[in-house]
Structure 1
Amino acid sequence: MNTATDPIRLIGCAPDLLPHFERLNRHWIEKYFTIEPTDIAALQHADKDILSKGGKIIFAAAEDEIVGTVALKHIDAESAEMTKLAVDEKFQGYKIGWRLVKEIMRIAEELGYKKVVLYSNTILVPALNMYEKIGFREIPVEPGRYQRSNVKMEYTFGAEHPQYTVAGELKTLINEWGQLLANISDMQAAARPKAGKWSIKEILGHLVDSAINNNVRIIRAQQISLLQIPGYDQEFWVKGQAWQFMNWQNLIKLWTIFNEHLVLTIRTIPTEVLQHTVKVNENEPVTLNYLIVDYVIHMKHHLSQINELFNLKKDTI
């Protein structure tokens, strides 16, 4: 499809378009799952099940062909459900789903809803990744909504999401430094600047230790406020993990993968628990928000050390 000559248009619902709502959704549901009773009500009687109850349906059109759709289903005065997102397989890969979701979310906010929920399944990885990038976060799924749904996500309008900023900054560090670190040889990474000082291997290994310990803190702090947890002996961990003797390229991969996981962990922290407090050893309590911000600051500090030991021609961070 050449979008320059065949642009995608987003259009509202009309009675003659409702068969396309059923066609598009029935195809993908039957491809991955089975049609459920709640699907039949929504697909065959969308006018009564969705529209007459205050919901909305929009479509994506390529010239005269309907190629995508999504609905907003009214729940109560403050919340709605985004449901029945479907894109024709011939037109996938052109971000039509993204555009439909962004538009239906704009409509939801315009209608005064404070939050939007959705139900999905873990096998729909591309869709879940898209929802997460847009700002949805996973919450517990109640039984009985859809048999196929093992994931529920929620978006809150107007809420500040500092965890998104931290996760984005961490992801940028991973992307920028992965290749720079790979340019260092194993021998160079193992060289200690002087007796008693960490090598580059040991510095990066220490950052893996930090990721291991902070991952546990971040998860546990979401469950309990005023959480008291032990610190860790950095020198003991660096020696005990034997980072000095690990293959350098494998160590880079480990640092990358663990922190990519932390990007996801941090991004999905519920906003309401960011003020939970954590007390490490005898230090003053700090908030979970402080903990994740400080994690990135700590990483920048040690990456700067690596830059000083081996001139990577990297701007100061």
Structure 2
Amino acid sequence: MLRKQETNEYPPYYKEYVNNVPDGERLHILDDQQKETMNLLRDLSEEMAQYQYAQGKWTIKEVIGHITDTERIMCYRLLCIARGEQEMLPGYNDDEYVRRGQFNRFSLSDLLHHQALVRQHTILLLSSMDDEALRRRGNANGSEVTARALGYIIAGHEIHHRRLIKDRYLSSLQ
């Protein structure tokens, strides 16, 4: 089991995400949480998956698309940093990515399938890296971060959004 990284391995704004991740083997955590998200959402109707809990908020489909896009971006950063990239990796505007992703035109089943495939890729990538690669530091969006911290950020980001789905979306639908 790899210990959680030190707080100097990621920017302070990711602290909530990292703290959301339970102790345990990181690959099992990533696998288990993706299954939890799938179990939470797979039986929603298409109509329910287009629900917004407030005007201007994302639909459940858009949240799933956002989780998936963010994991793709964080995984790319993880790969670059683990391989020793020294150039700054760019940030991204998540609202623009969601808007341009047009996730509401996809079925919920397709979105969950994409998310599962991206998660499998993340797990395979992380499982191929040794401690030295995971401890490498790089610059993403103007802040220093280690490759292993990005693995925890990925996991914590999904946990954060799964909680929002439960608390703000699904609780309103019942």
> Which range, TM-score by smaller chain?
0.7 to 0.9
Give the partner amino acid of 1:237. Y
3-state DSSP class of the match of 1:197? coil
> Who is 1:210 aligned against?
70
Q: Which of 280, 287, 300 matches 2:140?
A: 280
Specify which structure has the bigger relative contact order, considering alpha-carbon pairs within 8 angstroms and separated by 6 or more residues.
2
Contact 1:226–1:276 (8 Å) recurs in 2: no
Distance 1:299 1:170, change over 3 A: same
Contact 2:82–2:135 (8 Å) recurs in 1: no
> Who is 1:181 aligned against?
41
> Who is 1:297 aligned against?
156
> Who is 1:242 aligned against?
102
Distance 1:234 1:247, change over 3 A: same
Q: What is the count of residue pairs matched by the alignment?
A: 152
Give the CA deviation at 1:278. 2.2
Give the partner amino acid of 2:113. K
Give the CA deviation at 1:183. 1.3
3-state DSSP class of the match of 1:310? helix
More strand per residue: 1 or 2?
1
Matched, 1:231 2:91: yes
> Who is 2:18 aligned against?
none
Q: Which runs of 5+ in 2 are unaligned?
A: 5-23
Distance 1:228 1:307, change over 3 A: same
Q: State the alpha-carbon separation in 1 of the partners of residues 53 and 27 from structure 2.
A: 32
3-state DSSP class of the match of 2:25? helix
After superposition, the CA RMSD in angstroms is: 2.0
Contact 1:182–1:249 (8 Å) recurs in 2: yes
3-state DSSP class of the match of 2:77? helix
Q: Which runs of 5+ in 1 are unaligned?
A: 1-159, 312-317
Per-residue CA deviations over 1:87-137 (Å, capped at 9, x if unaligned) read xxxxxxxxxxxxxxxxxxxxxxxxxxxxxxxxxxxxxxxxxxxxxxxxxxx
Matched, 1:165 2:25: yes
Q: State the alpha-carbon separation in 2 of the partners of residues 207 and 234 from structure 1.
A: 10
Give the CA deviation at 1:195. 1.4
Q: State the alpha-carbon separation in 2 of the partners of residues 307 and 267 from structure 1.
A: 30
Give the CA deviation at 1:219. 1.4
> Who is 2:170 aligned against?
310
More helix per residue: 1 or 2?
2
The equivalences for 1:123-142 within 5 A come to none
Q: State the alpha-carbon separation in 1 of the partners of residues 58 and 42 from structure 2.
A: 18
Q: Which of 81, 105, 111 matches 1:221?
A: 81
Residue identity (%): 22
> Who is 1:87 aligned against?
none
